[in-house]
């Protein structure tokens, strides 16, 4: 037998290290964050999703953040602001 090594970062240990956040039981009154990736139509897509959400849930305020560059990570300041203000955040790419 020959042992060959895994070239990926997808080991069970690595995947277990990132836990999913708990799901919200309800969106009633929840502040929703929108994080667009900075492409031309990202926020347009997210705004449509908010329209659909309003049809089904009594969501509260909407906080919008658009990255200035789709290739760059969201800034620490924006990430912190979204984490503090929002009950849930939706992110999307829209080109």
List residues near another protein by CB under 8 A: 1-11, 40, 69-73, 95
Comparison of 9 and 84: residue with beta carbon closer to another protein: 9
Shortest Å distance, C-beta 21 to another protein = 15
SS3 state at 64:
strand
Shortest Å distance, C-beta 27 to another protein = 27
Comparison of 21 and 25: residue with beta carbon closer to another protein: 21
Comparison of 9 and 25: residue with beta carbon closer to another protein: 9
Shortest Å distance, C-beta 80 to another protein = 16
- Tally of CB atoms within 10 A around 11: 10
Q: Which residues contact 80 (CB under 8 A, 6 or more apart)?
A: none
Shortest Å distance, C-beta 56 to another protein = 29
Comparison of 1 and 84: residue with beta carbon closer to another protein: 1
- Tally of CB atoms within 10 A around 36: 23
- Kindly provide the b/e burial profile for residues 79-89, where b requires at least 16 CB atoms within 10 angstroms of the residue's own CB: eeebeeebbeb
The phi, psi pair for 24, rounded to 5°, reads -80, 135
């Amino acid at each position: 037998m020959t042992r060959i090594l895994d070239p990926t970062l997808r080991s069970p240990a690595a995947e277990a290290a990132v836990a999913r956040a708990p799901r919200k039981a309800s969106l009633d009154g929840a502040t929703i964050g929108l994080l667009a990736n900075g492409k031309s139509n990202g926020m347009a897509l997210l705004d449509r999703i908010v329209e659909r959400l309003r049809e089904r849930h009594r969501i509260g305020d909407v906080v919008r953040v658009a990255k200035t560059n789709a290739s760059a990570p969201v800034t620490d300041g924006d990430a912190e602001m979204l984490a503090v203000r929002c009950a849930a955040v939706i992110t999307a790419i829209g080109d």
